[in-house]
Structure 1
Amino acid sequence: MIEISLDAVQTTALAVLLLLLGQVIKRRVGFLERFCIPAPVIGGFGMALLMLVFRETGLVKIMFNTALQTPFMVAFFTTVGIGGSIALLRTGGVILFVYLGVCWTVALFQNTFGPLVASLVGLDPVQGVMAGAVSLLGGHGGAAAFGPMAEQMGHPGSTTVAITAATFGLVSGSLLGGPLGAWLVRRHRVEIAAVDVKSAAPAFHDHDEDVSVTSQSLIGMTGLVLVLMVIGALLSGWVQQATAFVLPAYVGAMVAAILARNLNDGLGLIRLNTKALDALSDLTLGVFLTMAMMTLKIWELYDLALPLMVVLAAQVLALLLLAAFVVFRLLGRNYDAAVMCAGLIGHGLGATPNAIANMSAMAQRFGLASPRALMIVPLCGAVLVDIVAIPFHAYMINILS
């Protein structure tokens, strides 16, 4: 077998090439454009499939160095946080709390539905929890945290089940969120209009709509993002020391960016260039998500036992039905609601980055972003949902042991 080891720069270069390839394929293949399949998923997942072929045939083994994936991810969420003015959050209003209630309900449902289906197909109910909100809503971080806990309590193989379920969910959430959102728009003949948040934002931030992206503006906004990333890392470390609660890598930076944005709204210290920030956002999102997809170990899904596949398929179907026939109506049956449903599928089955990618694909497909969705979904899906979800994970593992 030929072994190829790529360093961090080579891995990133490959990710960028796959991202570009995904964009080309998406433009030329009609159904990919129609169903809002993100370009990083197309290029990255294609590479993951090729890696599966290499592994099964024993021809080539490629080892990636994804050291730059986390910095790109943190940088992206920092740009999201910079957009989080209090004025924007006010536009979320009741919908923010409705969506948060939906996230909490999904966590409770997945952790009870999973054990029920697992019992029906002859699996350990705790493995049903591992294939529930622990790995789906919680992603690979939740899987890695709670799998060993379940194994220590007498449930061998829980970590493997959880990691595999998280991988399954990551792929499912990426592939199904955009198509669901597009279907909702067409099915209900939704008007392509999002909440206008500009009228609620401080007027001096509207100045840069007609400003072009220059090297100076990119340097300035890149510097701002990097400084906020450093502050976010310090904030996360302080929270961990004070409370022993470990925040995801990007949450501290996102919170720091939100605080800085609102301080700046009041004091007017920095003139933000939103076009430069949008360029940085598109770049960092595309690269880190492509890296995440191209390094998926699809053989973990290939080796799944049929009963676990049944549990996971039931979870996916249940969330799709919930989003299409309940959540869409609760959120207002409008374009913002359709975009948030696409986001819910992304982080409800995979991770918050998938939610962002699904919502970005919706914006590209229909020519309009949803600022409300882009703030509410990451805030609820990445941070606030854990207030209920994490204690419930531990509760279910304990009560079923």
Structure 2
Amino acid sequence: MHLSFSAYYTLIFAVLVLLLGKLLTRHIRFLRDFNIPEPVSGGLVVAAVIFALHQLTGLTLAFATAMQTSFMLVFFSSIGLSANFAKLREGGMGLVLFLGVIAAFIFVQNGVGVGLATLLGLDPLIGLVAGSITLLGGHGTAGAWGSVLENQYGLSGATALGIACATFGLVIGGLLGGPLAKRLITRHQLAQPRSMATPTASNAGSASDGKEPANFETPNTAPRLITAEAAIETLALFAGCLAFAEFMTSATQGTKLQLPTFVWALGGGVVIRNVLDYGFGFKVFDRAIDVFGNAGLSIYLAIALLSLKLWELADLAGPLMIILAVQTITLALFAAFITFRIMGRNYDAAVLAAGHCGFGMGATPTAVANMQAITSQYGPSHKAFLIVPLVGAFFIDIINAFVLQLMIAWLR
């Protein structure tokens, strides 16, 4: 039995998934505590229902996925459009050093994934899916690379596998960071617990999902409204990114510069943003870009989860849990012995290690939540709350995309 839905009905189902996710997140504390995105919480429930229908009746549902790619490209364009290089100067050498540490960890994470997948007799590309594609990249990157691996490299079920790994990472990243940082602080006597947790300005700031660009507008100015004029202006920026991505994908096809379309969309956003900033003095509306990017990611994930075929993952459950367990241990050791030491072996370094656990296997909000748990007990860390959102929001996605492209080319 096979039932297909048009684009209009697919969009309706996607919105229903988002509403269900919002309802579940509102009433289930676990989903809130671990920053599980609403599209994921609602989508996994719907995917489980579709799986049960398939197992009981043999029914297969097919949803229109043509617009799914467009929403994905909007999300990655928003990351690029938020990448203002002036923030690199603001972060100073600490930001550059932390970027270097995380870039090195990408190779370690992927090396562990590929090595274990090979030992377990799996396709090495599955190791990348259970590596930085999902654990450091998050749900958006999982879906993007999942479609690439399915369509270009024939890796069946890559998207479903990626969503599962990314969700696992969110939970583990939230569980790991706080205890690890607390142990480092206690062992090295870096700070004493405060008698009362006091919220500080340095503890503010997060993004609504793992990889959306953070809002870095000046907090002391009156907020700019997202009017029809602002929306049209922002749409023009996204249109430029999508046109650039389409042109570069076509122009580089079959060459050594060939990259997935979403990487060109991200790169186009970086170019457009910084040319407008430094060439024309044009102030890009970060909050509007955030809204468009978040909406694009939410609808994209909802459609992707509707299209999951969970029955394709049955044979991978055991090996996948082995890989993810080893990845968890690897992250803990790397954060404790590499990140902490390179970043200075002080209190800021311990908070940064907690943040690294947050987006090393989770998302930027998870990293911020980890750091808030520590700073509410031991005091603020202005350095960590400047560096981690900047790295987790967009800079690391750029590095991750190019490292993954190199590793896939090497494996194939």
The TM-score by the shorter chain falls in which range? 0.7 to 0.9
Report matched runs for 1:1-400 at 5 Å. 1=1, 3-58=2-57, 60-90=59-89, 91=91, 92-116=95-119, 118=120, 125=121, 127=122, 129-133=124-128, 136-137=131-132, 139-141=145-147, 143-144=149-150, 159=154, 162-164=155-157, 167-181=160-174, 183-185=176-178, 188=181, 193=202, 206=218, 210-240=223-253, 243-302=255-314, 304=315, 308-327=316-335, 330-332=338-340, 333=349, 337-345=353-361, 358-360=363-365, 370-387=389-406, 389-394=407-412
Counterpart CA distance in 2 for 1:108 and 1:263 is: 36
Native 8 Å contact 2:25 2:41 kept in 1: yes
Shift of 1:114: 2.3
Shift of 1:374: 1.1
Amino acid at match of 2:240: V
Q: What SS class does the counterpart of residue 84 from structure 1 fall into? A: coil
Shift of 1:70: 0.8
Native 8 Å contact 1:336 1:373 kept in 2: no
Q: What SS class does the counterpart of residue 131 from structure 1 fall into? A: helix
Shift of 1:228: 1.8
> Which blocks of at least 5 consecutive residues in structure 2 are unaligned?
134-144, 186-198, 206-215, 341-348, 374-384
Shift of 1:50: 1.0
CA 146–73 in structure 1, closer or farther in 2 if over 3 Å, else same:
closer
Figure out how many residues of one structure are paired with residues of the other and give that number: 348
Q: How far does the alpha carbon of each residue in 1:241-300 deviate from its partner, in whole angstroms, 9 at most, with x for none? A: 5x2443122111111110111112213343322221121122111111122222111001
Native 8 Å contact 2:355 2:367 kept in 1: yes
CA 223–364 in structure 1, closer or farther in 2 if over 3 Å, else same:
farther
Native 8 Å contact 1:130 1:165 kept in 2: no
CA 258–267 in structure 1, closer or farther in 2 if over 3 Å, else same:
same
What is residue 352 of structure 1 aligned with on the other side? none
Amino acid at match of 1:74: L
Counterpart CA distance in 1 for 2:369 and 2:231 is: 23
Amino acid at match of 1:226: A
CA RMSD of aligned residues (A): 3.3
TM-score of the aligned structures, taking structure 1 as reference length: 0.76
CA 6–337 in structure 1, closer or farther in 2 if over 3 Å, else same:
farther
Q: How far does the alpha carbon of each residue in 1:177-232 deviate from its partner, in whole angstroms, 9 at most, with x for none? A: 24423541365359984799xxxxxxx97597621222221121122111221122
Q: How far does the alpha carbon of each residue in 1:47-91 deviate from its partner, in whole angstroms, 9 at most, with x for none? A: 111110111111744220011111111111111101112223453
Q: What SS class does the counterpart of residue 361 from structure 2 fall into? A: helix
CA 181–345 in structure 1, closer or farther in 2 if over 3 Å, else same:
same
Larger displacement relative to structure 2 (276-285 or 103-112):
103-112
Shift of 1:19: 1.1
CA 176–283 in structure 1, closer or farther in 2 if over 3 Å, else same:
same
Q: What SS class does the counterpart of residue 68 from structure 1 fall into? A: helix
Q: What SS class does the counterpart of residue 61 from structure 2 fall into? A: strand
CA 384–81 in structure 1, closer or farther in 2 if over 3 Å, else same:
same
TM-score of the aligned structures, taking structure 2 as reference length: 0.74
Native 8 Å contact 2:241 2:265 kept in 1: yes
> Which blocks of at least 5 consecutive residues in structure 1 are unaligned?
119-124, 148-158, 197-203, 347-357, 395-401
Counterpart CA distance in 2 for 1:363 and 1:67 is: 34
What is residue 350 of structure 1 aligned with on the other side? none
Counterpart CA distance in 2 for 1:135 and 1:176 is: 10
Native 8 Å contact 2:62 2:307 kept in 1: no
Counterpart CA distance in 2 for 1:272 and 1:220 is: 9
Same amino acid, percent of matched pairs: 22
